[in-house]
């Protein structure tokens, strides 16, 4: 995916989101010049590829991809910078993989998390879960 979008040689980044990053509709372009500038960027295509990656191999990016997906119809420059940060994170973690341990005792471990009215634009809550078996994720979801 990095090669497909011309970021195979990008610098890597340690985190997906910086502390204090907030995304909202206020960051969407408002004037014709800003809108025209953002139309040249393949935001939706990259976010779509990130959605595929989060479902198949990268549960660690599920939250931020869900947030960035909210702005597919009118992304702003802050949203675009966040997408590039996710790609730089993937550059750093491209050798990572889901692994499972051999165990005589198989136990499903579940994690849930949510926030109340975390989406500033609609005051909707965000939640997610991950189920793990044999030391690796087997199912995850963010909404």
- Which of 12-21, 81-90, 96-105: highest mean pLDDT? 81-90
The whole-number average pLDDT for the span 131-142 is: 83
Beta strands in the chain (DSSP E): 109-119, 124-133, 136-142
pTM, 2 dp? 0.80
Measured distance CA(85)–CA(11) in Å, rounded? 10
Average per-residue pLDDT for the chain? 87
Measured distance CA(125)–CA(64) in Å, rounded? 14
Helices (H) and strands (E) in the chain, counts: 4, 3
Measured distance CA(130)–CA(140) in Å, rounded? 4
């Amino acid at each position: 995916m990095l090669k497909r979008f011309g970021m195979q040689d990008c610098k890597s980044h340690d985190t997906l989101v910086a502390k204090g990053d907030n995304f909202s509709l206020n960051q969407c372009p408002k004037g014709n010049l800003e809108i025209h500038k953002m139309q040249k960027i393949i935001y939706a295509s990259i976010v779509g590829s990130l959605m595929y990656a989060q479902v198949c191999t990268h549960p660690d990016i599920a939250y931020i991809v869900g947030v960035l997906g909210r702005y597919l119809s009118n992304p702003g420059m802050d949203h675009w910078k966040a997408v590039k940060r996710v790609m730089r994170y993937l550059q750093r973690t491209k050798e990572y993989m889901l692994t499972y341990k051999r165990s005589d005792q198989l136990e499903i471990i579940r994690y849930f998390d949510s926030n109340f009215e975390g989406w500033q634009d609609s005051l909707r809550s965000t939640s997610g879960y991950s189920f793990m078996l044999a030391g690796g994720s087997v199912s995850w979801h963010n909404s």
